[in-house]
Amino acid sequence: MTGMKPGILADEGIVTTFSNTRTVRIEWGDCDPAGIIFYPRYFEIFDASTAMLFERALGMTKFQMFKQLEFGGFPLVRTRARFLRPTRFGDDVTVNSSVTFGRSSFDVEHQLSLNGNACVECSEKRVWVLRDASGRLKSHPVPQAVLSKFQK
């Protein structure tokens, strides 16, 4: 399921909000010996959920983005999480993720829930980057062609 809010022009660029919801099953390998998810696994789920936002909006995988766009990645520069309830092996959880763009950075908010009850809330700050002539990553404005896909 995908939802969008209309974009608005801000001083630093286009700000738009786009959301995606997906279901993830907590697998045995995600859990500690007590059968409760090992907390770093949530960050893997959220990273994949961020990639899924872009895949849904752009119609291409992150791998394809490297080939088809001015794109060197979108590294994580800040993250924060609140762990509210545990999830366990076999749980089918819902991850709702939304993105808000600035000029070259964007914020992603994730909420992981089980049966409508919030279990984990996470926020990420990421930066759109390109590689310079020496191969170093440098921040770059999110291309208009990308932003336009999130505003439809």
122-145, pLDDT tens digit by residue? 999 999 999 999 999 999 999 999
pLDDT at 129: 97
Report, as an integer, the average pLDDT of 39-55.
Answer: 97
56-112, pLDDT tens digit by residue? 999 999 999 999 999 999 999 999 999 999 999 999 999 999 999 999 999 999 999
Q: Which domains does the chain have, with CATH numbers?
A: 2-150 (3.10.129.10)
Q: How far apart are CA 114 and CA 98, in angstroms?
A: 18
Residue 54's CB is within 10 A of a number of other CB atoms, namely: 22
